Homo-oligomer: A and B are copies of this chain.
């Protein structure tokens, strides 16, 4: 106990010496606030960075799996139009999203010797796939489930992949295919475990518009109402709902009028 007593005394002196020599406890308490702020900022940085790397890693896993499959038999693999569409998509639309998560010098460091497909190659491959679908009357569901034939299997498309294909049709004003692929995206989304990749609202929004453009206003209204159940304040959907209801109402009125005329 005596020794402990002496040591405690020494330490109290020690604190005094330390305080004189470089910094006071008040100063340290102030610096502790700096350390708390620093820890918080670093944790935010780590969280954002791990999310970023997670996205990149998912992309790497997709293309590594693709490389493995393609290398086993290139002719056979690329012979499947769904495979080659997805392949081009990975090196264009998907890669552009990943590129944004990388340092600006990353693509430069890759060098000039690697040829990348163009965005036109991507839309071209999508349009080609949709044309094939028509020409050979391929069922959208079967195509999306990779069941073109027993011989030519391909992977089951994700909801996002169906949506992206529908988006290409949509941007080229092809509402017939937009409708089919958005419906397929919806079906796949319902069955998917991880639903974070694509928002149901986005699918329904495109589906409603494409349906109305194809002339089925009643169905467009039903889809819009489904969208509003999820997102009641969706401005465009609310406006569209009124618009579709007006069309249906006017149609019913003119029908009744015609009936009344006869």
Chain A positions near chain B (C-beta within 8 angstroms): 4, 7-8, 10-15, 17-18, 21-23, 25, 28-39, 41-43, 45-46, 49-50, 53, 56-57, 59-60, 63-64, 66-67, 70-71, 74-75, 78-81, 84, 87-88, 90-91, 95, 98, 102, 106, 109-110, 114-117, 121, 124-125, 127-129, 131-132, 135-136, 148-152
Q: Which residues of B contact A7 (CB under 8 A)?
A: 148-152
Q: Are B87 and A38 in contact (CB under 8 A)?
A: no
CB distance from A183 to the nearest CB of B (A): 23
Which residues does chain B contribute within 8 Å of A70, judged by CB atoms?
A: 32
Q: Which of B15, B43, B124 interacts with A79 by CB under 8 Å?
A: B15
How far apart are the CA atoms of A47 and B117 in the complex, in Å?
27
Cross-chain contact B79 with A11 (CB below 8 angstroms) = yes
B contact residues around A110 at 8 Å (CB): 37-38, 41
Interface of A is mostly: helix
B124 touches A41 (CB 8 A): no
User: In the bound complex, do residue B11 and residue A80 qualify as a contact, i.e. CB atoms below 8 Å apart?
Assistant: yes
- In angstroms, Cα B32 to Cα A87, docked, is 9
CB neighbours (8 Å) of A136 from chain B are 10, 13-14
Bound-complex Cα distance A236 to B125 (A): 64
A116 CB to closest chain B CB, in angstroms? 6
Q: Which residues of B contact A109 (CB under 8 A)?
A: 41
B23 touches A151 (CB 8 A): no
| Inter-subunit contact A21/B114 (CB<8 Å) | no
Please pick, from B8, B84, B115, B149, the residue contacting A149 in the complex, using a CB distance under 8 A. B8
When distances are taken between beta carbons in the complex, the residues of chain B under 8 Å from A10 are: 136, 149
